[in-house]
Amino acid sequence: MSGTPANVGVIFKSYEPISAIQAYARQTEESGCSGGFWIAEAYHWFRKYGHESRGCFTTLAAAAMATSKIPIGLGITSPYMRHPTVQASESNAMDELSGGRFIMGLGAGKVGTEYLDLDMKKYTPVKTHREAVDIIRGIASGEAFAYDGELFKCDMPAIDRKGRGLRTKIPIYIGATGPFMQKMAGKISDGLLLPGLTSPGFTRYARENCWAGAAAVGRELPSDFPVGGVILTACSKDGAKAKDATRSYVGTYIINKLRNIKNDVILSTSGLPDEGWAPFREAIAAGTEDNVTHLVSDEMQRAFTVISGTPEECLEITQELVDAGLNTPLLEVAGASEADNLETIRLFGEEVLPKLKPGA
């Protein structure tokens, strides 16, 4: 890992207005963010917070048309929401539209899947993702492809994708919160994506699992194997303003981890004591989980390495994550306005990225 450069990207959920997405994508490219511009699929659940969800592929297509050089990625969409053959068709179209810049990110998407009538004992995350990846890759190859899995089936005739100037291998990253998915990412994926509230401790934990998964199948991952993470970010000359901008989002992420994802490792690897989560658990029990912003302290945000503050503070926090092995930090920009979000991306390009060192 020594000397591995960081490819910083920017990520937004697909509840942002399309015009704003295009502005953010253009600024990301202008700011030299080599990690690219990403979209995370937002589900109807986000209407609880006044957001209107938009289709992730359509939203990312708008970003692709506003850029020409940087990667564009989904981080993530869920194989539970669309059949893998549909995911493959969307993936192939996005790669063609972007001129071969697309990265497909797959993950369980717990917030969305809790509304589906699925037998999750049958459709386990590891099995579902493994079969989905096999199908998406098989279809992208252009070769005749028949698949008869335990969960999914398809029969695809051959087509000369390479002869048409299309890629036959599209990178697939796996979004993984738990150890089994992280190990599977090491076995079969082209990159690992970690969830919101990823800290240096959780990064190291996930990397160990990912590399162990690779070793179990005799695969040797390169030192620059992409390890990305969604990191809440707000950068401003006014550090207090930036910290306030990310505070409510941190509260939402904590509630999601406690109520939906139920992964205590994300919380424990922050270094904060377990009793710190008691007020959040009480809010869930009382039905007031939508009003927890006041419970999120600056110390809590710093422990989760939320990248909020002045450019100098943002550089220090980003460097900690990169040194822990997060070589593809994805900045989930969380400003109070479109202008604030653009300022965060611009300041990163001007004052953070030029000073960011390779992973130590």
CATH number of the domain within which 335 lies: 3.20.20.30
How many other CB atoms are there within 10 angstroms of residue 356's CB atom?
Answer: 17
In a domain, residue 115? The reply is yes
Residue 267 within a domain: no
21 inside domain: yes
Q: Cβ-count burial of 202 within 10 angstroms (0-12 exposed, 13-18 middle, 19+ buried)?
A: buried
pLDDT of 283 over the 50 cut: yes
Examine the pLDDT at 115 and tell me if it is beyond 80. no
CB 28 within 8 A of CB 345: yes
What is the reported pLDDT for 1? 42
Question: Taking phi first (over 0 means left), then psi (-120 to 50 degrees means alpha), and beta for anything else, what does residue 5 get?
Answer: beta
pLDDT at 260: 74
Domain-embedded: residue 181: yes
Structurally, how many domains does the chain consist of? 1
DSSP string, 99-139: TS-EEEEE---HHHHTTS---TTTS-HHHHHHHHHHHHHHH
Cis preceding linkage at 11, omega within 30: no
Please compute the mean of the pLDDT values over residues 335-343 and round it to a whole number. 97
Question: Measured between alpha carbons, how far is residue 56 from residues 130, 191, 195, 232 in Å?
Answer: 22, 20, 17, 19
**Would 260 be classed as within a structural domain?**
no
* Per-residue model confidence (pLDDT) at position 112: 60
Digit-coded pLDDT (tens) for 64-73:
999 999 999 9
**Residue at 299 is within a domain:** no
- Token pair in block for residue 55: 């289709």
Q: What is the mean pLDDT of the chain?
A: 94
CA–CA separation, 180 vs 203, rounded Å?
15
Is residue 270 domain-resident?
no
Asked, for residue 244, whether it belongs to a domain, the answer is no
pTM of the predicted model, to two decimals?
0.94
Range(s) of the domain holding residue 118: 9-239+306-355
pLDDT in tens, 153-169: 999 999 999 999 999 99
